[in-house]
Every structure is written in structure tokens, then in C-alpha cells.
Structure 1
């Protein structure tokens, strides 16, 4: 019994240390102030890179894209950017229609995709506007 106790006690200590380390969980996502999106107009085959400020709205075709949040994982974790987007379609003579509301993930665009017959939209990255590189730094 004492030999069993001497084997279990160190293993139990190691398990408790592991549980304490994981209880803190992974580092939380870092909120960014701009969502970088890519949009495709399927009719014209036009692909556009769109930057939407968090809290702001940008128009692409008949879509009004609003970014409510944009988070990025810290560099020490697996890369991931996620944006909470609201997309409303506005056509002349018609009431605005909600086309998408939810989180889109850069690593898995099909996980939460906007379904639309004319447009595709996906997240590329989340950035902070003030830390974006400027044009010339001479």
C-alpha cells in the first residue's frame, strides 16, 4: 500500500498542476478596431478588399456591411481573426433586408458564411488602424 501511495501522490500532484495551468485558459482575444474583408461580386467577377471600422458601415454593391467587433488571437496562439458583422441589402424601392448577422472566422470562411446569390464576403484579418504601416517612412 505504501508503494502504491508513493506512486499515486506525485502523479496526483502533476495532474493538479496541469489543471491549475489550464484553468486560467488560453490568452483572450485582442480587440482590434478594423475588420479587413474580401468581397466578391459574382456577376462582374470583381474582388475587392474592404476595410470596415468597428462601429462603422461600408457599402459594397447593394450591401451595407457593419462591423460590430473584430478580435484577433495573440501571436503566441494559433492565428485566428474573427469579426461580428451585420450585412443589410438595400435595393431601390424595397425595404432593407438583413442578409447576415454573426461571427465570421478568417480560418474557416465556410463555417459561418453569408449566403447571397450575387455576393460573397469573408474575413481576412483584424487590424488596428493606428498600428497599420504607413506608405513612405523616409
Structure 2
């Protein structure tokens, strides 16, 4: 049977659902691909030093935004340092998150993230996992580092942590509680915040988890 004859019923069902006004399906999370898991599926957590200040790294909670430009669907991904999360054909690995001290200006929040995407360079190639980004992303200074990909975008929305003398607010408590499970709430991506006049210095990058790209050319 021809491929078009097989796809026709599914196309008709999709068109019928659109006519009825049913909402589009939300993105679903799946397991971390074996190609990445076998070569270091967990992000490396930097070793805490004597001068580290505030909430211990392993207890911090980062909220990342993930946008699919094809369908304009974005969602929040809540993670702790050392976690690896897959959403469709995107894998996010969080190594660390930070925010400026209460008395520092301008205030900012950031996270060290690795992003992998399953795609192919040409129609003849097989699908493979490729690392498209590895570095710090900043909430209030997005221009300092950008995830460059034609389909997906990733940005930092929050790093939940506290410093001595600060009390954990309801928002931080809610973020910590939801970090144990996947977050897939669809939402519209807010407009990018303008860069501050005085950009903060980027924290020292933690030791990256070395991951070889699957099916990447020599």
C-alpha cells in the first residue's frame, strides 16, 4: 500500500480535530537516549569550595524555558544541578545555577547548561544526537550567550537559592517541591529582557561533562 494512502486517514483525523477546536497536544517527556546516557548522562556537579556562599549547589533549583519554534509551544523545565532531562528530541543537562548576591548590582540569575538535539544534517543521514550548546545562560543578560538552533531555544527563568539572612519565600519552596518531577506546562515565552547597561561578569564555568556527539562526522 502506498505511503500516501496510509497517511491519509491520520491527516483526516488531524483535520477533524482542528475543526472541532480541540487543543493541540502538549509535548511529552521521554527517557534520556542511550547514546547520551552511556557517555555520561548526568551532568558533572562542580565540587563545592570553601568560599562557596549560600544554598549548597545540590539543593538549588533552576527553571529553564524550552521553546519549539515550529509550533510556538514553550514549557518550563525544573531541574536540580546534576540532572539530565529529555523533552521530545531535546536533552537538557544542568551543571549549576547561580544568582548575584543581594547587594550586588545589576541583579542576575544564570545556569550552566548543555543542550543536545536529535536531528540530521541531510535527508540521507540517520538521526543522531548532537550537542548544540554548552555554557552559561543569563536571565537578565540573554545576549551574553545564546542557544543558536533553527528549531529550539533555551533560556533561564529562575535559579532558586538563598543567602545567609534570607528566608525562603513561597516561590522558592514551590520550585524545590516541583523539582523532583517533570514540568511540562505550556506557556507563551516572554519577551527577552533588555541587556543591562553594565553586564555582570560570567561565573567560572564548571568542569564540563565530556559527551561525544553521536553519529557526528570525524
TM norm. shorter chain > 0.5: yes
Unaligned runs of 5+ in 2: 1-51, 121-125, 162-167, 176-218
Aligned equivalents of 2:155, 2:77: Cα separation in 1: 10
Displacement after TM superposition at 1:124 (Å): 1.3
Query: Are 2:136 and 1:111 aligned?
Result: no
Q: Given that residues 108 and 141 in structure 2 are in contact (C-alpha distance below 8 angstroms), is that contact kept between their aligned partners in structure 1? A: no
Residue of structure 2 in register with 1:87 after alignment: 115
Matching of residues 69-88 of structure 1 within 5 Å:
69-78=96-105, 79-88=107-116
Q: Which runs of 5+ in 1 are unaligned?
A: 1-27
Return the alpha-carbon distance in structure 2 between the equivalents of residues 118 and 105 of structure 1.
20
Shift of 1:61: 3.0
- Aligned-partner Cα distance in 2 for 1:120–1:134: 25
Corresponding residue number in structure 2 for 1:40: 67
Give the aligned partner of residue 94 of structure 2.
67
Task: Check whether the contact 2:64–2:158 (CA below 8 A) recurs between aligned residues.
Answer: yes
Question: Normalized against structure 1, the TM-score is what?
Answer: 0.67
Deviation of 1:60 after TM superposition, in Å, equals 2.7
Match of 1:23 in 2: none
Structure 2: how far apart are the matches of 1:134 and 1:107?
A: 22
- Normalized per residue, the structure richer in strand is 1
How many correspondences in the alignment? 107
Shift of the alpha carbon at 1:91?
A: 4.7
TM-score, normalising length: structure 2: 0.44
TM-superposed deviation, 1:121:
0.9
Divergent runs of 4+, >3 A: 28-32
Q: Name which one, 1 or 2, has greater alpha-carbon Rg.
A: 1
Superposition CA RMSD, Å: 2.5
The answer (yes or no) to whether the contact 2:112–2:137 under 8 Å persists in 1 is yes
The 3-state SS of whatever aligns with 1:133 is helix
